[in-house]
Amino acid sequence: MSDDTALLEVRGVGKRFGPVIALADVSTTVAAGQVTCVLGDNGAGKSTVISLLSGVHRPDEGEIRLAGVPVDFAGPRDALAAGIATVYQDLALVPLMSVWRNFVLGAEPTRRFGPLRRLDVRAARETTRTELAGMGIDLRDVDQPVGTLSGGERQAVAIARAVYLGARVLILDEPTSALGVKQAGTVLRHIAAARDRGIAVVFVTHNPHHAHPVGDRFLILKRGRSLGDHAKGELSRDDLTRLMAGGAELDDLAAELDRP
């Protein structure tokens, strides 16, 4: 993948929190219509990558380019305005509110003006239904409270909402980690659907089995450093798993645990 196709590009970024080097010299690219997976164990620096891309923190070294232009976000609002949306693990959904009220929250469609300005409920419901359907999500009823949805369905609603709100780059923080096998599979389908709509997806996960089928590019992190930034063709799933677990370490562990 050459630089001119990359929508989001990370060049040698580093971040320090006091004496702790959270991230050092990490580079990767995310292209429109492709999925870049950020993999790593706990403490590898995945959350720091998210915080830099979503404008929560500023990198101390290196630069982030959006569509070829270096960006410097003052905060999450800036990143959001530039089209970088983040779906965090808590999803930012209100359980007691209906699916459609959650979906349009903060960007509610209205009709009429002045004191007569009011929520366009029909448009909101319709938008929710069509946007969810466009992502391959079939909800029986957009009037039900979000709290009654399954974990996978909630994740799907949050992803579809970010897409609807105009995300060009979509950052997903461990969207499959709390889910069962079947639901995780469904969420992977939604990630592919977002990708197929031309969105650049950053899929952060610790699970190589989830990353490999959907990813086009893999950034593997360990203790704040990059273990490699590979295109899909360069790695098999086994390679990915081994890299993730620290290759040689896993072999040592296997030897150690092996019955004599």
Partner 1 sequence: MSAPAVPDERVAAVSPVRRLLVRPELGALIGAVVVFVFFALLSSTFRSADGVANWLDPASTLGIMAVAVALLMIGGEFDLSAGVLTGTTGLAVTILATRFGLNVWLAVLLSLVLALAVGLANGYVVTRTKLPSFIVTLGMFLVLQGLNLGVTKLLTGNVLVGGLVGRSGFDSAHLVFASSVVLGGTYFKVSIVWWLVLTVLATLVLLRTRFGNWVFAVGGDANAARKVGVPATRTSMALFATTATAAWLVGTITALRNTSAQADAGVGDELTFIVAAVIGGCLLTGGFGSAVGASLGALIFGMTSVGIVYAGWDADWYKLFLGAMLLLAVFANQFVRRYAERRRRS
Applying the rule CB under 8 A, the residues between 174 and 193 that interact with partner 1 are 186, 189, 192-193
Q: Give every CB contact of residue 215 below 8 A, 6+ residues apart in sequence.
A: 35, 36, 37, 203, 232
Rule CB under 8 A: is residue 150 a binding residue for partner 1?
A: yes
What amino acid occupies position 169? V
What's the CA angle centered on 76, arms 202 and 91, to 5 degrees?
60
End-to-end CA distance of the chain: 47
Q: Which is nearer to partner 1, 48 or 186 (CB)?
A: 186
In whole angstroms, the minimum distance from the beta carbon of 27 to partner 1 comes to: 29
Contact between 258 and partner 1 by CB under 8 A: the answer reads no
Least distance to partner 1, CB of residue 189, Å: 6
Q: Is 144 among the residues that bind partner 1 (CB under 8 A)?
A: yes
Using CB under 8 A, pick the residue from 71, 82, 121, 250 that binds partner 1: 121
Nearest approach, Cβ of residue 144 and partner 1 (Å):
7
Among 33, 62, 145, 228, the residue binding partner 1 under the rule CB under 8 A is 145
Residues binding partner 1: number (CB under 8 A): 43
Q: Which residues bind partner 1 (CB under 8 A)?
A: 77, 80, 88, 90-97, 101-102, 104-108, 110, 117-119, 121, 136-138, 140-141, 144-145, 147-153, 161, 186, 189, 192-193, 196
